[in-house]
Each structure stands twice: as C-alpha cells, then as structure tokens.
Structure 1
Amino acid sequence: MLPPPAQPTATRKSRVIAAAAVGTMLEWYDFSVYAALATWIAAAFFPTGTPGVSLLSALAVFGVGFLFRPLGAVAFGHIGDRYGRKEALALTIIVMGVSTALLAVAPTHATAGILGPVVLVVARCGQGFSGGGEFAGGASFLIEHAPQGRRGFYGAIHYMALIGGNLVGAGIVAGLSFSLTQAQMETWGWRVPFVIGAVAAFAGVYIRRRLGDTPVMEGAKKQDDIPRSPFIEALRSDGRAVLRGIGLVVGFTIMSYTYVNMQSYIVTVSDLSQGAAVALYSLSLIVQLGVIGLFGRLSDRIGRKPVLIAGAALMVVATYPSFLLISSGSTGLILAGLMLMAVAIAVYAGPFTTVITELMSRRTRYTALAVSYGFAVAVFGGTAGFVVAWLRQAMGSSLAPALFGVVAAVITLITALTTRETRFARLED
C-alpha cells in the first residue's frame, strides 16, 4: 500500500487540468467534426449517386476507426502503467495529431480514386488507436491529482473537456457552413477543421511534456511497485472491474455517439440545412456542459452511486421521447429533443469518469480502464451512428433506432444498480 499523495498546489492544479483536458478535447473535437461533416465527406470520398448510401459509407469509416481502440488501449495502457501516465499521454496526442493532419490532406475520390477512401480509413484508424489510450490516460492523470473530496468534480472536468471539444468542433463547422458556399464546403471547406485540429494537437504535446507524472505513479516508481505485464495482470486482478466498466459504458456510449451523430441525422429527417442542425446541436451542448459539472460536484457530496443510477434511469426514459421530438421536423421540437438527450447524458456523465477510474486498482488502472472503456466504445459507440442510420432506412421509421438506445441504457442501469459506492476508495491501493 502506498502512502497518500501530497495535495497539489493551485498552480499545479491548473497545469494538470490543462494537460489532461487538451487531449480529451482534441479527441472529441475530431469526432464531432467528422460527424458534423459526414454529408460532405460522404460526397467527397463515396460519390455513389445515392446520398443515403454515401452517408452510410462515411459513417462506416467513422466506425472502423473504433476497431483500433482496443489495440490502443492495450498499447498505451502498458506504457501508462509501466512507465508513467505522462509518457503515454504524450504519445497519444502525437498519434492523434498526425492522424488528423493526414485526414486534412487526404485526396478525394475524384482526384485519386480508391486511394482517397483508403487514406481516409488509415487516418480514422490512427485516431481510433490514439483514442484507445486517451480517455483512460486523461482520467487517471486528472483524478490521481485531484484534491481530497473533489475527485467527483475533477472527473466531471475531464468529461466537460470532452464536451468542450465537441462544442468547439461543432461551432467551427457551423461557422464555416454559414460563411462558405456549398461549393466551397465541398471542395476545401470541410478540410479546415482538421487543419485546426492538427495544429492544436502539436501545441498539446508541448503542454503535456512540461508536467511530471501523478503523485500515485511517482510513489509506485519509488517503491518499484510496477507490473511487468499490465494487461495480463489487469485481466487476472481487475477482470470483474473491467466487465463492470463495460456494462457502465454500453448504454452511455450508445447514447453519447447517437447524440453526436444527430448533427447529420437531423438533416435526413427534416428540411433543416447542415449548418442549422449543427447550430441547434451546439446550443444543447452548452446546456450539457453546465449540467455535467453540477452533478459531478453533487457526487462528492452525496456519493457516486445515487447520481449514477439517476443518470442511467434518465437515459432509459428519455431516449424514445428524444427521437420522437427530433423526428418531428419542427425546429423547436428538434431543439427540445436534443436538450432532453443532452441532459440525460450529462447527469450520468457527472460521476461516470470518476466511478470507472475508482473501480480499478492502482497497479493496472490505466490498462483496465482503457480496455473496458475502449472495448465498449469500439463495439457499441463507434457503430452507433451507422446503426441508427441503418435502422431508420431498413425499417422505414425515424423512431426505430430508439429501441436500440433503450435496451442499451437498461443494461447500463442494471450495472449501475449493482455497482458499489466508490467515493471513499483509496487510489493508492
């Protein structure tokens, strides 16, 4: 057992938050941008002549990148648990930056034929690989630095950074779509957000390299209490926690990625333009941002479990009404549906990052967290946009995907109900 770490100074707290947040923001910035630009990417790389088929192809590529998240989880988890959180986080953001830059310069189908979609897939796979280590690394780094009694709020900050990246990405796409013509967006406008993301990623490398490791990890290094094979040890000692983590992620990730893909989904069920859809989505994100912090702080006061259960239950009951409102075609009702979905996600997100981090033991925390989160997101999150679009087309109903979300949310609710309270867990154990 390691001794409790010293409390960080105010200056170090700010630097820690910035270092953890920058990669998480960029990860979800990339996802948000791709989702918002899906119709333009579909036209540039998959010109089938049928918009629905082209969009499915673009969303399938979005999902393919997620297949590499488990590989990234194992690779970066090994580095993070053996050599330090900082080293792993520096590498994730480098891979992320290179992949985003590649996507920014990828040749289209018109200029390079099949090579264009191939480059697109490679770039998304690189983003998925880096994403496999980013969430777990950022969560471990931030929460292991958190002051006593504020881990819930620090975990909420981590997820707020995620939403912040989502919001920035959506805002940039909305701004471009309103300021550029359709022809400009189709030829070069869709590349601009990826160029911005690549530049920001390499700025993030500088921020992360300036900090030391977490007090928990530094204490483990001093006592030479480091696992030789984090992945094998995680399966042996944290196997049940990994499975529980997957259960906690399933409904949450399907709801979250369905919500992200609403930027493109709205265009298919209404007369709104892509820019208008992204603008409505951005408004709901602003509300979501504040709610996450509120419920993360609440989990420090009353415990993680009651807040987690409330969020999971809200996702179960909010899914169908959200789809019903969004599928109405009315601008006001679409916004109401987005708001309902955003709040349901936010209540659960408040304590989520902290709970799933506190469930994992210190020796294999990075790996166990990365594997459980990465596997669930790869199988369920990355495919959510494709499944939603396919269900709508296959069943001929805009409400068909709602059942998919409800079933997943019920799984997460059952897992939350059977999860122990983690507020007083020692991160050094």
Structure 2
Amino acid sequence: MAFLSQSLAPVAASHMSVSRRRVIVGTTIGNALEFFDFTVFSFLMLFIGPLFFPAASSYGQLLLTTATFGVGFLMRPVGALLIGSYADRFGRRSAMTLTLFMMGLGCGMMALTPTHAQIGMVAPLVIVLARLIQGFAAGGEVGAATTLLVEHAPASQRGFYASWQFGSQSLGIFLGAIMVAALVEGLSQQAMNEWGWRVPFFIGMLTAPLGWYIRRRLEDTLVIGLSTSRSQQARARAASSSPLRELFGWHKLTLLKSVLLMLGAMVSTQIIAFYMPAYAARVLGLPTTSSLLASVVVGAVCFLLSPLVGWLSDRCGRKRVICISRLLTLVVIVPCFQWLNAGPSLHNLLLIIGLLSLLLTLQTVPGITMLPEMFPKSVRTTGMAAAYGIGVSVFGGFAQFFVTWLLQVTQQPLAPAWYMMVTVAMSTVVLLWIRDRTGEDIDGGANQVGS
C-alpha cells in the first residue's frame, strides 16, 4: 500500500491533506484485498477443483469450482444491507473494521483447509463457507469505503476520490495475477498442488491486520465537522434510526435505478477482468501464461487510468463520460471477440484486453461515484452497498458460471460478447432517468467536508 500512497502525491499534492491521503489508503486496502482474493481464486480454480471436487469430471470440476467462486456473491446483498445499515447507524469506520476482519478470516480458511483426500466432504463445505464469509464482508465493504471517500472529498473532487475504490480493486487484480504467474512459473505442478496454491491466501490473511491498524486512525464522516455536543446528538439519532426501513420505504425507486445503473459495469468487470483471460486459455487454447498476462494488463490499465477518469468525471460530468464509454463498448465488443477468435494470439489478446479495460474504467469509475451521490446521508451507505451488492450478486457474480454454461449449450464463442452487450445496453437506457449531481452539495451543507 506504500505504492498506492506514493502515487497519490503527484496527482493532487496541492489539494490533498495528509489526513485525506490516509483516508484513501485506509479505505482502499480492503477493496484491494477483496479483488486480490477473487483474482487468485479465479486463476487457481484449475488446482482447487481436483483437490476439493475429485469425483466430478474435468468439466464438472470446473463448473463446481466456478459455482464456489460465485456462491460468495449470494451473500453480498445480505452483507450490504446489514453492514450498510450498521455503518449508517454507528459509523463507516466501525463497519469497515468489521469487514476487513471477516475478509482476513475467509482468506485464512482458504489457506488452512485440508483437501477432500484428507477430511472428505467437510473440505468443500469449508471452502464454500469461506466464500460466503468473504462475500458477506465484501457486500458491506464497498458501500462503507466508497461512502467514506465521497464524504471526505470536496464537492468538486468526489469523482477523483471515489476513483480510488475501483483503482484499488484493479490493483488487487494486478497483484493477484502477478503472484499466480510467479507461482506457476516458479513451482512444479506437484508443488502447486500440494501447497503453492495456498500462498496467496496466506498473504491475504496477513494483510488484513495491517489494514485494520490503518483504519483505526481514520476520521469517521458520520459526524465530521460537528461540535462535540452536536456530534453526540447526531450519533444518538443515527443509532436509533432504521436505515433499512427508510431505504425500502422512501427510496425504493432510487435503489432500483442504482442497481440497474451498475448492471453494465458489473457484468463487464466479470467478463473482461476474470472470464476473458480464462476464455483465452480454455476456449482458444492460448497458454496459461497468456491469461495471466491479460489480467496483469487489466489491472494495470484500470489502476493507472482510474484517478484520471475520476478527475475527468469531475470536469465533464458523470453521465456524459458513462454514456460515451458504453456506446463505444456496444460498438466494439462483438468485433473484439470475433477478432480474437479469428486470430487467437497473445498480441491480439493483450490489445483487445487493453482497449476493453479502458472502456471499463470509463464507465465504472463515474458509476461508482454516482451511487452514493444518489442517496441522502441517513441511508447513503445502506443504499450504496445494497445497489452494489445486489447488482454484483444478481448480474456479476454468476456471469462466469452463466457464460460457461451458455458456451457449453450453444457452442457459440461469441456468447460472452452478446451477454455483455445486452446488459450494457439496458444499463445505458436506465442512465437517462438518473440525475447527474456532479459538483453539487449532496448534503445540503450539513456535515460537509470543506475543500
């Protein structure tokens, strides 16, 4: 995370205090850990499948392991609602401390669980439980972290601040792919099967305490800017409130719009960042190292461009940036898959992945910023977390499982592209009915952090 802290300085050194840099590093470390974990699990499925689902065929092992990858997404809406509500009542920092502990616990379970050959059916059950715990934590993590970033930011820089949420996820993808590539290249097949695949999860488990320590020093935005007496009153009101009742009672339409707003980004992220590199190896026959390099490119492009796209959305407006990027995605996605299928090579794969990663960043960063801007402060974390958690669970989490099944049934190599096109188009239409609040005071002057 020192690299992340250093990279902030040249971008906005004159506009950002040390405390705000600490906020960015402290909030984003959880997102980086989350996507690091999902990235390494995605790439290590070929090792995990035979160890925990030995009775199935090779296709069955892949399907079961992919379903185990996706099952964690089932808990995201639950975690989003419960942890989001907790954050709106007792503070964003407290919620983020809890989610980081649970992520570390899930990584530890993955790292330490014996295989099916050692403890039988208990082994896959523990792995599934670990994914459920991580999914629950991730559901609450994104909402609390993004809300804290947005509420700490000056109104004119919310896009830049929130961009580090997606940027840190991309950094997690980058580091996860690099680590798996190093393990695959440096260890024998036997060593990978015996212990090598566990190494990334050990590292994830050990990273969590560092993040917990950093987050303890963050200033919570639930009552930021208030005097001691008013702060105590605000905390008492928040603690006695019911964010879930308010969200589903008064903000149902806003929640629906926010879920559909992120539909295209959720599916695009899963297909571009996780499925497409694996697709190149399994369907097109490219070497495993090619898919790992593709993920490195995804992580690097999205990480490096995220702050720039956030800054751009602050200047040009969120909706404009999202609309342009999605229209370009609709134009190029099918030709990209056709080109890759016609000439499967590492060169073509990296070019296509790089282009799609650029478009993914252009639509996702402004979208993530818009979510907390759509909700009032009393339900902001709950609404943001619910929109993200439901969207990821319903549309993103099982995208790989659905596309794997779709390819098997239809034998149509363009199936992922068509699925992505439909979801991006639907999400773009919904965007027309959402107000762009770029640069506006989203709290009406209350508890707003000054620039």
Q: TM-score range by the shorter chain?
A: over 0.9
1:174 corresponds in structure 2 to: 181
The separation in 2 between residues aligned to 1:16 and 1:326, in whole angstroms, is: 41
CA distance in 2, matches of 1:60, 1:238: 32
Give the one of 63, 71, 80 matched to 2:87: 80
Q: Relative to structure 1, is the Cα distance of residues 273 and 106 closer, same or farther in structure 2, using a 3 angstrom cutoff?
A: farther
Do the aligned residues in 2 keep the contact of 1:107 with 1:116 (CA within 8 Å)? yes
- Tell me which residue corresponds to 1:189: 196
Cα distance in 1 for residues equivalent to 2:320 and 2:374: 16
Question: Match of 1:239?
Answer: 252
Counterpart CA distance in 2 for 1:320 and 1:9 is 42
Contact persistence 2:80–2:139 (CA under 8 A): yes
Is the contact made by 1:326 and 1:335 (CA closer than 8 Å) also made in structure 2?
A: no
Contact 1:173–1:275 (CA<8 Å) still a contact in 2?
no
Residues 183, 196 of structure 2: 8 Å contact kept: yes
Aligned: 1:214 with 2:221:
yes
Per the alignment, residue 281 of structure 1 pairs with: 295
3-state SS of paired residue (2:439) = coil
User: Take 1:396 and 1:9, find their aligned partners in 2: how far apart are those partners?
Assistant: 52
**1:311-337: CA deviation from partner (whole Å, max 9, x where unpaired):** 222332333233334434222122222
Q: Distance in 2 between matches of 1:179 and 1:78?
A: 45
Alignment of 1:304 onto 2:311: no
**1:285-328 residue CA offsets vs partner (Å, 9 max, x unmatched):** 21222232222111111211101211222332333233334434
Between 370-379 and 289-298, report the one with greater CA deviation. 289-298
Contact 1:295–1:347, Cα closer than 8 Å, also in 2:
yes
1:46-57 maps to which residues of 2 (within 5 A)? 46-48=53-55, 50-57=57-64
- Give matches, 1:50-199, under 5 Å: 50-199=57-206
Is 1:341 aligned to residue 348 of structure 2?
A: no
Q: CA deviation at 1:160?
A: 0.5
Q: 1:184 is matched by which residue type in structure 2?
A: A
The reply on whether 1:22 has 2:29 as its aligned counterpart is yes
Partner deviation per Cα, 1:342-373 (whole Å, 9 max, x = no partner): 11211112312211111111110000111111
CA contact (8 A) 1:265 1:389 kept: no
Percent same amino acid at aligned positions?
Answer: 35
Q: TM-score, normalised on structure 2?
A: 0.90
Q: 1:401 to 1:315 in 2, by over 3 A?
A: same
1:249 corresponds in structure 2 to: 262
Structure 1 distance, partners of 2:106, 2:340, is 33
- Post-superposition Cα deviations, 1:243-283, rounded to whole Å, max 9, x if no partner, equal 11101111110110112222322211233332331122212
User: In the alignment, does 2:405 pair up with 1:390?
Assistant: yes
Range with greater deviation from structure 2 (51-60 or 359-368)? 51-60
Aligned to 1:377: 392
SS at match of 1:150: helix
Give the 3-state SS of the residue equivalent to 2:436 in structure 1: coil
The alpha carbon displacement at 1:49 in A equals 5.7
In the alignment, the residues of structure 2 paired with residue 119 and residue 144 of structure 1 have an alpha-carbon distance, to the nearest angstrom, of 38
Unaligned runs of at least 5 residues, structure 2: 1-14, 445-451
Cα distance in 2, alignment partners of residues 117 and 30 from structure 1: 17
Q: Measured at CA, do residues 218 and 186 of structure 1 come closer, stay the same or move farther in structure 2, by a change above 3 Å?
A: farther
Which amino acid counterpart does residue 250 of structure 2 have in structure 1?
S
Q: Tell me the SS of whatever aligns to 2:275.
A: helix
- Following the alignment from structure 1 to structure 2, what is the Cα–Cα distance between the partners of residues 297 and 49? 49
C-alpha distance in 1, partners of 2:24/2:145? 9
Shift of 1:218: 6.2
Structure 1 position 376, deviation (Å): 0.9
**Higher mean C-alpha deviation, range 344-353 or range 327-336:** 327-336
SS for the counterpart of 1:149 is helix
The residue identity in structure 2 corresponding to 1:274 is T
Deviations 1:366-385 (A, max 9, x none): 00111111011111111011
Output the CA distance in 1 between the equivalents of 2:83 and 2:42.
26
What is the SS of the residue equivalent to 1:272? coil
Answer yes or no: is the 8 Å Cα contact 2:81–2:244 preserved in 1. yes
Are 2:433 and 1:418 equivalent residues in the alignment?
yes
Q: For the Cα contact (< 8 Å) 2:372–2:383, is it kept in 1?
A: no
Indicate the residue corresponding to 1:330 in structure 2: 345
RMSD: 1.9
1:117-172 superposed Cα distances (whole Å, 9 cap, x missing partner):
10110000000000110111110011101134111111112210111111111111
CA distance, structure 2, for counterparts of residue 49 and residue 358 of structure 1: 47
Distance 1:318 1:132 in 2: 31
1:355 pairs with 2:362: no
Match in the other structure for 2:209: 202
User: Which whole-Å CA distance do the structure 2 matches of 1:403 and 1:189 have between them?
Assistant: 36
Mean Cα displacement is larger for which, 68-77 or 393-402?
Answer: 393-402
Partner of 1:111, secondary structure, is helix
CA pair 324-113 structure 1, distance change in 2 beyond 3 A: farther
Distance 2:74 2:402 in 1: 15
C-alpha separation between the residues in 1 aligned to 2:60 and 2:68?
Answer: 13
Native 8 Å contact 2:53 2:116 kept in 1: yes
Residue number in structure 2 paired with 1:3: none
1:292 — aligned with what? 306
- Pair 1:16–1:291, CA change in 2 (3 A): same
In structure 2, C-alpha distance between the alignment counterparts of 1:273 and 1:187, rounded to whole Å:
22
- For residue 132 of structure 2, give the secondary structure of its aligned residue in structure 1: helix
Contact kept, 8 Å, 1:144 with 1:427, in 2: the verdict is no
Residues 326 and 101 of structure 1: CA distance in aligned 2, closer, same or farther (over 3 Å):
farther
Q: Distance in 2 between matches of 1:159 and 1:280?
A: 18
* Code of the aligned partner of 2:323: I
- Partner of 1:263, secondary structure, is helix
Equivalent-residue separation in structure 2 for 1:124 and 1:380 (angstroms) = 18
